[in-house]
Structure 1
């Protein structure tokens, strides 16, 4: 017998779930973090360690590299030295116009030349004229200290007012071998014998690690060398500073620029290989540490996923009650996914702050410039967001799939 049907009864309409605003969704998603603070903090700790490691292993090498670049620049990574080689007659010299030609090369930022005058320097005329104490007398241009970043221990260097006079500047080793410790009083200045001419010492240089040959030299003005020592005006060594990215290119064209007729007679020093070696070493260590950071992020992500799975199991009654009150599966899924992402972002922000502080502190302790890698910072926050989404997806789907009756019965 068929059951009677109610005449005129309207079909039952289930209420539509209310659409949650983003702020409401965020507030609901943060419930688990607020109520289980210790567990949330321990879960976020794994993320923060991974992000901090990522920033530290990029920030510290960046600061180290910048400090290294500054140090190598000071020690001549962009300094080239072109030296004349003996020709068939045994003469060692470069063309007179060579310094001017080198200065016209675009990436060259500074240039200066010296020339061996083949003259002996002595402390007095009582010393054997053949005993030059292993020192060299060089004709020098006034721009030499700026090119080599030379510093004066005392006195001054040759300039437009002194380069035509019988004046001399001694290198650090030359001053020691000649027994010159100061410039002497104004009315009786210290003098040395260059060839057969007395020259007044007007300056003493500090040691030059860039050009140790200058330490063992006595430097006289170019015009004074021509007028007093019979110097012919041909340079033997040209020093030049180059815009760093163009060092190799300038080095390649330098011999032909200096002596187009005999480029093989020009020897150019190689730029420092220390920079390439250091960069390769730093790249290897950076790759290793980034791998460690990836492992830390993976461990942190597993911790977040574990926390979210346990949270779903513990909160089945809440899930069942919300579903019974009309919450949709999508809202449940969004709630737990929001909680996972928020947990990861909190860990990411804490890790970013910790990584930046650690990088800055390490750089300051070592006297390096503080470098904040913006790429690593943004990548760290992005990685935290990605970990939150991946780690929270399965627990969110698991929570959304719980039937209301089973969830309430399990409670």
Structure 2
């Protein structure tokens, strides 16, 4: 039987037998909707965990020189940036308080960080120009606090024991994970400046442990307690374990839903085959091959399954949206395909049963 003839026969049979057709549509739709509303929320949560794991803040390694031993010099910063496991790396000095030079010592104090390295890895210039060594950029909040009409001017140290001033040449917005700099100013460090901390954003949470070992090797502290380390390794491991647990739970629930749905579809198809056994036996007696009968039963199940998958997917996405947990499109597409495949596979055994019955005996059955 040609493909289009087979399709036409399957369509006419499905339309003529509305009850089993509606049941297949309903069961496949329930499989898709239930999966997306339950397992889909788990998949969405797993994706959120993965996104947080990939966020720069979850990949930040901070090494601080606790004894002021000049361990974090420009050479160490450059070497750290050159590591294959490093996305960004800068040296940062302990923040100092500064005031508007025009206002003087009585002005509002804001923090200022001296940064050694490529400032574009820390911030984005929104006005003015990139600063040279000893020049500064001001955030919008700090500009307001300092009473500057424009992001230009000068600031000076608020300390009574230290003297120093910095020209402000523009404004900036901080990049993650350096959001704390939005409260003050960022100063371009002098070429030979030594930093108090080394901030490293690794390329991937999976390489956090290797990156930590490499960076510690470059810093080369004389004693273990010469540095303190804020590491993303523990957080990365915890998030990976949570993601794995969510994935296992989701797969188990998915298999349960698909298995139960496939069993019910198989029962519906078998019942339909038994009800239509004389029609199928008549086709066999008229020359239809066993392969044709199998193809007809499977196609007869496939068509309503496709309709049910479409309806169920739409309903499942609506339900997931109500909980603000839309699963990834890959999961949604995969769910619809798996539901249709489950329906097709569940129809194979009833189809084989129908194709292997003796047509003469079937036609003689009252």
Coarse TM-score class (shorter-chain normalised): 0.7 to 0.9
2: CA distance, partners of 1:302 / 1:157? 68
Equivalent residue number for residue 192 of structure 1: 156
8 Å Cα contact 1:137/1:218 also seen in 2 = yes
Equivalent residue number for residue 17 of structure 1: none
Q: Which of 159, 163, 177 is matched with 1:210 structurally?
A: 177
8 Å Cα contact 1:58/1:286 also seen in 2 = no
2: CA distance, partners of 1:52 / 1:110? 43
RMSD: 4.5
Equivalent residue number for residue 148 of structure 2: 182
Does residue 1:147 correspond to 2:104, yes or no? no
Equivalent residue number for residue 329 of structure 2: 371
Equivalent residue number for residue 307 of structure 2: 350
Summarize the Cα distance change of 1:21–1:142 in structure 2 as closer, same or farther, 3 Å threshold.
closer
**Shift in Å, 1:72:** 5.2
2: CA distance, partners of 1:140 / 1:319? 81
2: CA distance, partners of 1:295 / 1:73? 31
**Shift in Å, 1:318:** 3.2
Unpaired segments of 5 or more residues in structure 2? none
Structure label with greater radius of gyration? 1
**Shift in Å, 1:389:** 1.1
Equivalent residue number for residue 14 of structure 1: none
Q: Which of 131, 136, 140 is matched with 1:159 structurally?
A: 131
Q: Report the secondary structure of 1:388's partner residue.
A: helix
2: CA distance, partners of 1:347 / 1:282? 35
Q: Report the secondary structure of 1:342's partner residue.
A: helix
Unpaired segments of 5 or more residues in structure 1? 1-19, 227-231
Does residue 1:242 correspond to 2:228, yes or no? no
2: CA distance, partners of 1:375 / 1:258? 48
Equivalent residue number for residue 97 of structure 1: 75
Does residue 1:50 correspond to 2:31, yes or no? yes
**Shift in Å, 1:210:** 3.1
Superimposed CA distance per residue, residues 311-347 of structure 1 (whole angstroms, 9 cap, x where no aligned partner): 3443354355456x4547x63x852x33442243234
Summarize the Cα distance change of 1:48–1:218 in structure 2 as closer, same or farther, 3 Å threshold.
closer
Superimposed CA distance per residue, residues 207-246 of structure 1 (whole angstroms, 9 cap, x where no aligned partner): 77734664566433323xx8xxxxx721211222321143
Superimposed CA distance per residue, residues 173-212 of structure 1 (whole angstroms, 9 cap, x where no aligned partner): 7667xx41434597xx464346333434444555777346
Equivalent residue number for residue 169 of structure 1: 137
Q: Size of the alignment, in residue pairs?
A: 359
Q: Report the secondary structure of 1:372's partner residue.
A: helix
Summarize the Cα distance change of 1:334–1:64 in structure 2 as closer, same or farther, 3 Å threshold.
same
TM normalised by structure 1 equals: 0.67
Equivalent residue number for residue 214 of structure 2: 253
